[in-house]
Amino acid sequence: MRPDGAAETTAPVWICATCGNHYPEAPSPPSVCVICADERQWVPPNGQRWTTPEELRAAGHRGDVREVEPGLLGIGLDPPFAIGQRALLVRTAEGNLLWDPPGFLDQLALQAVRDAGGLAAVTASHPHFYGAIAEWSRAFDAEVLLPEADAAWLTRPPERPPRTWSGSLPVLPGVTLVQCGGHFPGSAVLHWAEGAGGAGVLLTGDTIFVTPGEDRVTFVGSAPNRLPLPERAVRGVAEAVRPYRFDRIYGGWWTPVLRRDAKAVVERSAERYIQWLRGEAPAG
């Protein structure tokens, strides 16, 4: 039965209300969200909560579509849901790629992607942001790209089997996925060579975390549980992006954005982070 007393005609897709990840259609939800039960996420003090696309629609969540810069469309939700990430659609002459989709999509979001020329591929920085990936894939018959190291975290298998990759993967002209590790073994960034007026852009989700002052970045084992990364993982992230040219970084949310000089900021921030880990930075 639904909350309004009417019978469900079909089994719903279950969505974790905390992280926004989808689980397969079933008459009742799973007992746990494996993503939230993991140490890098969290379960509400009163226990696991589930929702459905129908409930989210009824609660008034709507697509929130904004041009972030020429060639880059942001697709979030208003009000935001779960972790609150907004997706980014990277547009190229040979097709578009969607990055870090939230856990709900509506007709407005679908129409915005149709108007932008559709979808060749959909992927995410890491499992916390897999969201409605299977739904997007089905809507456009888009390829799902997952790092081999994290593929097992996808909780709702798409109809079209995902393509796994490791190391780096050129997806479209000037669009490359780069495995950095750290937060998750498969944590990735997307390098977009034409972004920032040709100076280059990284889309990073939680892989490289832009801080509120928009003047540094940080690295997280877990953001909500305030867990750090070890030195070797921080060095691994910095090394993975070093071969690429970029001046700007978009994290997982509309703001903050590291607007300029991002390449030097990543190097500087990584060194400073390691000084803090080693107890070599003054704590006041």
By CB under 5 A, name the binding residues for Zn ion. Answer: 16, 18-19, 33, 35-36, 128, 206
CA distance 124 to 138: 16
Least distance in angstroms from the C-beta of 173 to Zn ion: 29
**Nearest C-alpha neighbor of 13 from the set 5, 2, 4, 24:** 24
Least distance in angstroms from the C-beta of 56 to Zn ion: 14
Q: Which CB atom, from 113 or from 217, has the smaller least distance to Zn ion?
A: 217
Least distance in angstroms from the C-beta of 128 to Zn ion: 4
Q: Which CB atom, from 32 or from 108, has the smaller least distance to Zn ion?
A: 32
Q: Which CB atom, from 29 or from 174, has the smaller least distance to Zn ion?
A: 29
Least distance in angstroms from the C-beta of 124 to Zn ion: 10
Q: Are 183 and 40 in contact (CB under 8 A)?
A: yes
Pull the structure tokens for residue 115. Answer: 């108007």
Pull the structure tokens for residue 186. Answer: 């498969």
Q: How many CA atoms lie within 13 A of 22 on its CB side?
A: 22
Least distance in angstroms from the C-beta of 133 to Zn ion: 14
CA distance 17 to 28: 15
Q: Which CB atom, from 84 or from 117, has the smaller least distance to Zn ion?
A: 84
Q: Which CB atom, from 171 or from 188, has the smaller least distance to Zn ion?
A: 188
Q: Say which residues have a Cβ less than 8 Å from residue 70's Cβ, sequence separation at least 6.
A: none
Q: Which CB atom, from 51 or from 96, has the smaller least distance to Zn ion?
A: 51
Pull the structure tokens for residue 172. Answer: 């479209």
Please give the C-alpha separations between residue 64 and each of 2, 80, 133, in angstroms, as whole numbers. 27, 9, 17
CA distance 274 to 164: 31
Least distance in angstroms from the C-beta of 91 to Zn ion: 26
DSSP state of 209: E
CA-based radius of gyration for the chain: 19
